[in-house]
Structure 1
Amino acid sequence: MLGCDQMLSGARPVTVREKLAELSETADAGLMPDVYGDGPVTVLEKRTAELLGTEAAVFFPTGTMAQQVAIRYGAELTGRRAVALHPLGHQEVHERRAYADLTGLRAVHPTAAPRNPTAAEIMALAEPVGTVVLELPLRDAGFVLPTWPELADACTAARAVGARAHLDGARLWESTPYLGRGLAEIAGLADSTYVSFYKTLGGLSGAALAGTTALAAYARNWRHRYGGQLYQQWPAVLSALTGLDRQLPKIPDYVRHARTVAAALAELPGAVVFPRPPHTNQFRLWLPHPAARLNEAALALAEQEKIWFVAGWRDTETPGQAMTEVVVHAPALEWTARDVVDAGLRLLDRIQG
């Protein structure tokens, strides 16, 4: 099965051999494997900095590590041990609160509303913070984005209270259509930006932290201290470069088609889609059935009809109501709205049959 982010797809996962063949096809023939961060790592860092319009970028094996460094930098630069985080943010929900346990910082929550904090909420923080983190999109609120004016005002407010603005941009690549701005203009609002190379670009792993040359120098030191100075990382780096070449140009198509898919899924009996229309190529879907039965039906559909529809269902606080996350990637572009509805009905037939 795929991970917790489920892709509407009729395609099977690629094998290890196929993935290695893809990397060999796209690699520069003269590019040598890296040794402790040179070679292809340097190529990827330079390209990322150019895309985001920053002075520099530093490759990290994980986004969790990259974000720890960004938050630590803000604390040391400002002398403030608090960081403004959303309670649904990645650091709180998916990183085991490493900012607190490893860095000794504490969180201040500007808002509990299912969205990023507003400028007014940042200005009203009860205590000084070193960094204000804005997650684009806020995944655990339903992949929701602020508007461009809201984002710009929030970053301005962060600086007004003496903090750094940091973008948790793991899914920044797919945020550009909704925000109506390019990557460099979005990253230009903040003091630092983290991006992921595997979530949408299809890389094996890895992330980058982009910002000033001073941040980059600090990040390289702390990457080493955190254990991120690996001897060789060229497979992950090559897959990231392949994603930038092949997937990044297609992302606007994914976002556009996600609106078609979401509207079609909303036609299923009892279905709820949020947000509608989706802000990115990802959104949430609820159906009035237990998660176990939906997951069983999804697996049966895959085995019997070779269609990987949507799975990863989990039960909600409402009995008999389950939720999943839908991610629209390349295979879904071949699906019409009618195809989506038909597959959804066949899924439901397996539950009711």
Structure 2
Amino acid sequence: MEDQLAENDLVTDLRTAMRGATRRLSGAPVTPLREQLADLVAQSEPWLDGYPDFYGDGLVATLERRVAELLGKPDAAYFPTGTMAQQVALRCWAAETGNDVVATHPLSHLELHERHAYRDLTGLRGRWPTLEPRLPTAADLRTVAEPFGTLSLELPLRDAGFVLPDWDTLAEVTAAARERGARIHFDGARLWESAAHFDRTLPQLAGLADSVYVSFYKSLGGVSGAAVAGPESFVAQLKEWRHRYGGQIYQQWPAVLTALVGLDRELPRLPEYVAQAKTVAAAFAEAAADFPGVHVYPELPHTHQFRLWVPFSARTMRAAVIGQIEDTGLGLLDRWAPGQAPDSAFSEVTAGAAALEWEPAEITAALRDLLTRARSGGSKD
């Protein structure tokens, strides 16, 4: 118990230290609420003369139309959370197909981060075409003996390292699912930045699926919220179930404004972030050459996010980050989680606007310094 309390204190200390960093590489910006509100007002000028939404009209409807247009779908429904959006979408497809089986992945968000809501709240059943740390292939689907009504694909598969298949593999697996009479659902919490990997437009990518879930805070900088796009009749069902699940909220304009701002400001920059992630990963790899057991995955990131693996404990890395900030003002990586092997850890690296301000040599030098501190137990040599 004491060890856990000490660990929690260290996590809190790391968050506090990152707020004081003079320069950050990865992670969401840490700014006071007053500054965030002032920025939101400045960026929301086109909508400020309008009126608040009431139970899904106004700005909510505006955002829904915008998302449908961006993804090339007939309609879209806004949800306060992605977990709600996912389970409502899957249960609606199950009702339409008459099949309660969902083909998904053991590392998917459905299984690891939503408390199995699709199963425990909707009564659906999951089947795993593959256990490999990648998206399933058409051949994998053909090994699933039981008929399934929906194939849910998380793009990218975050807990495998933000990995994506190539375009032909994705097209083949969706075609194989349709051959079996299944609907295709994209868990696209990070879909916005995935189009660059495929060298396709968002409508081309979304066109492979019957429904697409997207998030407004994971890559676009919104405070919360999600949407599911698809056929008009399907979206009408989503909105019925949204109300039943408690998602028909009286007013949601603060979150919706941040989503609209994100679509205007961040969405056009995501290809630039994806390109910078490759630069950051290469700079990290150069530093890692001096530290056995340190590596980036994927070596060439598929999106603007990837993982850095180290042969040190998460506790050691947090202490090293805090020490580096105190000595240099540089806040390199803000989150560390334990790896599967003893005394190993990983960080999820996000190349956003802050990362664009770093030169490769600066990144390499900063990571070398951080790893040197970790090798010394979290302190500077």
TM-score interval, normalised by the smaller of the two chains = over 0.9
Per-residue CA distance 1:144-173 (angstroms, 9 max, x = gap): 001111111111111111110000100011
Mapped to 2, the partners of 1:62 and 1:22 lie a distance apart of 23
Per-residue CA distance 1:278-333 (angstroms, 9 max, x = gap): 00010011112121111111122234433220132222222222111111100100
Other-structure match for 1:19:
36
Other-structure match for 1:260:
279
1:229 to 241, 248, 254: 248
- Contact kept, 8 Å, 1:10 with 1:306, in 2: the verdict is no
Structure 1 stretch displaced more, 65-74 or 342-351: 342-351
Measured after TM superposition, the shift of residue 221 of structure 1 is 0.5
Aligned 1:69-80 pairs, distance under 5 A: 69-80=88-99
Amino acid at match of 1:340: I
Equivalent pairs counted in the alignment come to 349
Q: Find out whether 1:249 has 2:264 as its counterpart.
A: no
Give the RMSD, CA atoms, in angstroms. 1.5
Distance 1:34 1:297, change over 3 A: same
1:214 to 233, 245, 269: 233
Other-structure match for 2:173:
154
Alignment gaps of 5+ in structure 1: none
- Contact kept, 8 Å, 1:142 with 1:284, in 2: the verdict is yes
Mapped to 2, the partners of 1:68 and 1:244 lie a distance apart of 24
Aligned 1:227-306 pairs, distance under 5 A: 227-268=246-287, 269-270=291-292, 271-306=294-329
- Contact kept, 8 Å, 1:23 with 1:235, in 2: the verdict is no
Q: Find out whether 1:98 has 2:117 as its counterpart.
A: yes
Other-structure match for 2:10:
none
Mapped to 2, the partners of 1:264 and 1:273 lie a distance apart of 10
- Contact kept, 8 Å, 1:10 with 1:307, in 2: the verdict is no
Measured after TM superposition, the shift of residue 46 of structure 1 is 0.5
Structure 1 stretch displaced more, 204-213 or 268-277: 268-277
TM value normalised by structure 2: 0.89
Measured after TM superposition, the shift of residue 9 of structure 1 is 4.4
Other-structure match for 2:161:
142
Measured after TM superposition, the shift of residue 10 of structure 1 is 9.7
Measured after TM superposition, the shift of residue 110 of structure 1 is 0.6
Mapped to 1, the partners of 2:139 and 2:200 lie a distance apart of 23
Mapped to 2, the partners of 1:229 and 1:256 lie a distance apart of 38
Other-structure match for 1:198:
217
Mapped to 1, the partners of 2:29 and 2:273 lie a distance apart of 18
4+ residue runs of structure 1 moved beyond 4 angstroms? Answer: 9-12
- Contact kept, 8 Å, 2:26 with 2:334, in 1: the verdict is no
Mapped to 1, the partners of 2:33 and 2:157 lie a distance apart of 32
Structure 1 stretch displaced more, 328-337 or 317-326: 317-326
2:149 to 99, 115, 130: 130
Measured after TM superposition, the shift of residue 29 of structure 1 is 3.0
Mapped to 1, the partners of 2:277 and 2:230 lie a distance apart of 31
Distance 1:325 1:171, change over 3 A: same
Per-residue CA distance 1:68-119 (angstroms, 9 max, x = gap): 0111011101111111010000000000101111001111111111111111
- Contact kept, 8 Å, 1:35 with 1:231, in 2: the verdict is yes
- Contact kept, 8 Å, 2:27 with 2:349, in 1: the verdict is no
Other-structure match for 2:331:
308
- Contact kept, 8 Å, 1:9 with 1:307, in 2: the verdict is no
User: The residue matched to 2:330 in structure 1 has which SS?
Assistant: coil
